[in-house]
Structure 1
Amino acid sequence: MPGALSSDAVIVYRRALADGRFDSKSAMDATGLDSEKVARCRDELVAHCLLQPDEIHDEWLVTVNPEIAAAKLAQPLEEAIRSYRNAVDDARERLLQLMPAYLGRTMSGTVSGGLEILTDPDEVQLMINQAAAKCRRDAMTMQPGGKRDPAALQQALPLDLGIVQRGVRFRMIYQHTTRTQLAMRSYVSAMVEGGAEIRTTDQLAERMFIFDRELAFIPKRSQPGQPLGAVVVREPVLVSFLCALFDQFWINSQPFDTEGPGYQNVSGDLKRSLLELLAQGLKDEVVARRLGMSVRTCRRHIASLMQDLGAESRFEAGVKATQLGLLSRDRSEG
């Protein structure tokens, strides 16, 4: 592939267009170059397929449409790319024939029954991205936690929009506390406009991704503090169970409204959850983690609730909340 055209060669090409063919003397007059440099420009244009021999007069060089020249120039590269792509597809097909054996093994790192354990976060992300790219019907994600990384949201947006633009039904559940973050509201607005369905709820169990109701990813964590990783679930009964779990959370969640105030229509949910968790005697740090908010924000909400209830202790706040029926779950409140 030749390099970029020199400015002199561009002038010579323009002159050839005006003359109807390449003429060395005319090119010298136009550029002020000597015959040797004009010859180099000629060779450069030939190398770029912008000059070619005339069909009638073999000794003449005539100009070529740049679009046609570009196609001629790119043809060998495109053929090479096709060849490499075919080689990659063939290699992938041959290797994927070993998947049943791989999934069926019962050695360290893999559980029998359609489960695969991944310990490398990069490998987890790669497999999720591949599953998302292949998804054709239905995608579901459940992502606990509060504030999201704005850079990560910006990076994920084109990929996530690509899913819904293929006609996939994409449902996402976050926690109520994400509603106050501007970057999250911008992401949600773009996704909903693209066709995604996004809701929030007070508490979520764990992070989960499900694609086409056939493949699921859940965290590989039996106790807090364990290294990041994921369990890849392909077993149909287990995937069906996870879909049912997602649907239950979906029914009890509320649409993410990016037009109104952050906690519009969900403040009641947050208050009830806060009171319920306090009534269980959980520490502030645990309550904050469950609700996806910072400890400082959590304590501010607790102080406000105790003041509203006229309670001097958290136990008293729980008792009064129960007496007032504040812990009952009535979704009709909106």
Structure 2
Amino acid sequence: MEPCETALRLYRTALVEGSLPAEAGRPCLVALRLMSVRPTEPEVLHPVPPTAAAVSVLRPLREEKDRLHRAERSLQAAFAQFGAVYNEARSREEPAFTLLVGGTAISDTLEAAVDACQEELLTAQPGGGRPVEHLVDALDRDVRLLARGVRQRTIYQHTVRVHQPTLAYIEQVVSAGAEVRTLAEVFERVIICDRKAAFIPVSDDRGNAALEIRHPAVVRFLTRSFERDWARCIPVDDQSITNRPPSIMSDTQRTILRAIAAGETDESIARKLGMSRRSVAVHVRRASEQLGSRSRGQLGYLIATSGVLEGPPG
């Protein structure tokens, strides 16, 4: 409360003269208790020292402040007790996200999760053919799962259809009851166990770190993404293992053409599709010959403007 000049002047006058007529007092002087009325002189206001007035005015505020501090401390103590109960209960739950660092930690955790599968194992494996040593370990594990009645679905890229070790593995697990499909497009690696736990790589260098996910909403999101890709895939069955369907090549070619039009290099395309760089170069050369391109930049332009990506596959 900022005193006005009139109030200061009247207070000074009251101090000099000893009092003021009651009708001359300013409301702020009375509110600040700088002027008081004596019972024997109701028509006169007497000045009060500011230190005494301050004690009178500030005492209730200090008391209210102390009361609020006591209430705050009491509430903090109560919430601390409930917090301890909350943390103790949550500590018994599985963590929603766990970072796995190093190949051993990743493989051991994955093996335990997959072995614990009771109903369904979903796997998306980009990058083309898999190393032979990985296929040997996976075959034994997958056959055991399928024998227990676990449904297993796996997505690979089309390029595995020309990788004989991976194709031999697929033939055996399909015979045991697994379902395998392939897709030309680039997708992310994911393993989903019973729709309760999922594993994804932390970076493009997939062997260094992985994230174990048990948050229901995130696992549900990853499962739905898998299902969308699965619906667009081409099944791998006994016939397609022996004879590669023409749609596989046209699908792969169109994916390569899209990547060229987007300005990607042969090396980038090969890495994403799990192909050799030489195979990609063959596709690029054929496209250049068919469209009459004399440079990579012109080829990308012709692919984007010629309408070859808009027509039916073939």
TM-score interval w.r.t. the shorter chain?
A: 0.5 to 0.7
Structure 1 counterpart SS, 2:154: strand
Asked if the contact 1:140/1:172 (under 8 Å) is kept, the reply is yes
Could you report, residue by residue, the CA deviation over 1:44-100 in whole angstroms, capped at 9, with x for unpaired residues?
Answer: xxxxxxxxxxxxxxxxxxxxxxxxxxxxxxxxxxxxxxxxxxxxxxxxxxxxxx995
Q: Structure 1 pair 218/260, CA: closer, same or farther in 2 (3 Å)?
A: same
Equivalent in the alignment of 1:143: 125
Structure 2 counterpart SS, 1:122: helix
Equivalent in the alignment of 1:240: 220
Could you report, residue by residue, the CA deviation over 1:257-309 in whole angstroms, capped at 9, with x for unpaired residues?
Answer: 44333464211111111111111111221111111112222112211221222
Q: Structure 1 pair 227/198, CA: closer, same or farther in 2 (3 Å)?
A: closer
Structure 2 length normalisation: TM-score? 0.66
Distance 1:260 1:324 in 2: 34
Q: Does 1:285 align with 2:275?
A: no
Give the counterpart of 2:289 among 281, 295, 307: 307
Could you report, residue by residue, the CA deviation over 1:143-181 in whole angstroms, capped at 9, with x for unpaired residues?
Answer: 111222123212210111111121111100011111101
Equivalent in the alignment of 1:271: 253
Equivalent in the alignment of 1:44: none
Asked if the contact 2:97/2:213 (under 8 Å) is kept, the reply is yes
Asked if the contact 1:142/1:204 (under 8 Å) is kept, the reply is no
- What amino acid sits opposite 1:246 in the alignment? F
Give the counterpart of 1:132 among 98, 111, 114: 114
Distance 1:176 1:232 in 2: 27
Asked if the contact 1:143/1:204 (under 8 Å) is kept, the reply is no
Name whichever of 208-217 and 262-271 sits farther off.
262-271
Equivalent in the alignment of 1:174: 156
- What amino acid sits opposite 1:287 in the alignment? I
- What amino acid sits opposite 1:136 in the alignment? Q
Equivalent in the alignment of 2:192: 210
Asked if the contact 2:157/2:273 (under 8 Å) is kept, the reply is yes
Distance 2:89 2:200 in 1: 20
Q: Which is higher, the Rg of structure 1 or of structure 2?
A: 2
Residue 190 of structure 1, CA deviation: 0.7
Residue 324 of structure 1, CA deviation: 4.5
Residue 329 of structure 1, CA deviation: 7.9
Name whichever of 309-318 and 140-149 sits farther off.
309-318
Long gaps (5+) in structure 2: 1-87
Give the counterpart of 2:170 among 176, 188, 202: 188
Give the counterpart of 2:179 among 197, 201, 206: 197
Asked if the contact 2:161/2:244 (under 8 Å) is kept, the reply is yes
Q: Structure 1 pair 263/308, CA: closer, same or farther in 2 (3 Å)?
A: farther
Structure 1 length normalisation: TM-score? 0.62
Percent pairwise identity: 32
Long gaps (5+) in structure 1: 1-97, 105-112
- What amino acid sits opposite 1:297 in the alignment? S
Aligned length: 225
Q: Does 1:251 align with 2:231?
A: yes
Structure 2 counterpart SS, 1:265: helix
Equivalent in the alignment of 1:123: 105
